[in-house]
Amino acid sequence: MTYKICILPGDGIGKEVVPEAVRVLKKLPLDFKFFYAEAGYDCFQKTKTALPDKTLSLVKKCDATLFGAVTTPPNIKNYKSVIVNLRKKLDLFVNLRPVKSYSRKKIDLVFIRENTEGLYSGIERYEDNKNTAITERIITRSGCERLIKFAFEYAAKNNRKKITIVHKANILRKSCGMFRKTGMEISKKHKDIRFDEMLVDAMAMRLVKDPEHFDVIATTNFFGDILSDEASALVGGLGMIPSANIGKKNAIFEPVHGSAPDIAGKKIANPCAAILSAQMMLDFLGENRYADMIDDAVKNALKKNSTKDLGGNLSTKEFTDRVIGLM
């Protein structure tokens, strides 16, 4: 079988780490056909659009997409985040972020974050002669249901034993209240998986103090974004965190880190998150054997040396060479 893979390197270090992930994929005895397209701030400067129609069309046609990182400048009117735009246009309602330590064995948790609603719904306005800014938080029952059902299905499929629903229903009684209530209702249909809940502020503290306590964490868009970034600090930083954006028809895999313009071009970016995003893509495609092979190779490579952000002295390419040599 030939897998059609769309490659969107993006901006900054995305253009450095995504090619390394592609190098790893090319070493596997699988048939890939790679299609390259542009998206991001560099693309915007050339074409006046950050997400060209032809790029969106290509993503829809491919079996999966490997996405790098893009710059989202806050001061350009009508400029929209490419990944947020892709999530909405393709209805990629799940953001899956595993946080796994390759040196501290007990940290192995997964964030399952709603990906299309909440505070990132994009509905904002000014009132009172621009002295008041309002952002609307949109939470729907259908959005809660499909996200939490996915979380329980993921837990069952991957032999996970517990799901923690994270919310702020004591204050945000309607929106978070709906998320909490939906989680409690769905949990009753899955007696074999333990269920608990936690307020988001308590969760932020508990993640630092006792990360081993958690297994699968299901939460809303904004909370999931912040908490998963916080958790990354426990396992080496954002350079170690891959992710998947999953919908019913499409899936996009990306490192959680940004475009990091401060280190772009220096050849020191950590390619682990991009390589592990490719590993997640293989799992999605059903190539579990090769996904496990890459995971083991990354683990063993990190035992010997690493990139600068993890205290090592290897370049981006040198670390990837080490991973490939261990496959």
**In sequence order, what are the beta bridge partners of 3?**
32
| Interval 111-118 mean pLDDT | 96
Catalytic residue from among 26, 54, 61, 201 = 201
Own/partner long-range contacts of 73-76 (Cβ < 8 Å, ≥24 apart): 73/41
196 catalytic? Reply is no
Whether the domain at 1-92+241-327 and the domain at 105-234 fall into the same CATH topology = yes
- Per-residue confidence band for 76, with pLDDT thresholds at 50, 70 and 90: confident
201 catalytic? Reply is yes
- Any idea which fold 105-234 has? Isopropylmalate Dehydrogenase (3.40.718)
Q: What is the mean pLDDT of the chain?
A: 95
Distance between CA atoms of 301 and 38, rounded to whole angstroms?
Answer: 31
Catalytic residue from among 225, 290, 295, 309 = 225
Give the range among 81-90, 104-113, 248-257, 307-316 with minimum mean pLDDT.
104-113
Q: What DSSP letter does each residue of 269-287 carry, written as one string?
A: ---HHHHHHHHHHHHHTT-
Distance between CA atoms of 214 and 234, rounded to whole angstroms?
Answer: 13
| Pair of tokens at residue 201 | 């502020």
Across the chain, how many H-helices and E-strands are there? 11, 12
pLDDT score for 75: 82
Domain 1-92+241-327: CATH superfamily is Isopropylmalate Dehydrogenase (3.40.718.10)
Q: What is the DSSP letter of 314?
A: B
pLDDT score for 68: 96
168 catalytic? Reply is yes
* pLDDT tens per residue, range 184-239: 999 999 999 999 999 999 999 999 999 999 999 999 999 999 999 999 999 999 99
What percentage of the chain reaches a pLDDT higher than 90? Answer: 93
pLDDT score for 104: 66
- In this prediction the pTM is 0.94
The domain locations on the chain are 1-92+241-327, 105-234
3 state SS of 137: coil
Own/partner long-range contacts of 298-304 (Cβ < 8 Å, ≥24 apart): 298/102, 298/272, 298/323, 299/102, 300/326, 301/326, 302/102, 302/103, 302/272
Query: Amino acid letter at 83?
Result: I
Which residue matches tokens 């009117």?
Answer: 77
**Residue 318: half-sphere exposure toward Cβ, Cα within 13 Å:** 12
Distance between CA atoms of 216 and 229, rounded to whole angstroms?
Answer: 15
| Interval 9-15 mean pLDDT | 96
Q: Is the dihedral of CA 207, 212, 213, 214 positive or negative?
A: positive
161 catalytic? Reply is no
Catalytic residue from among 41, 102, 120, 290 = 120
Catalytic residue from among 168, 290, 295, 309 = 168
53 catalytic? Reply is no
- Per-residue confidence band for 3, with pLDDT thresholds at 50, 70 and 90: very high
Distance between CA atoms of 161 and 289, rounded to whole angstroms?
Answer: 23
Catalytic residue from among 63, 108, 215, 229 = 229
| Interval 87-105 mean pLDDT | 91
Own/partner long-range contacts of 27-33 (Cβ < 8 Å, ≥24 apart): 27/324, 27/327, 28/287, 28/290, 28/293, 28/327, 30/3, 30/287, 30/290, 31/1, 31/2, 31/3, 32/2, 32/3, 32/5, 33/2, 33/3, 33/4, 33/5
| Pair of tokens at residue 105 | 């064995």
pLDDT score for 119: 92
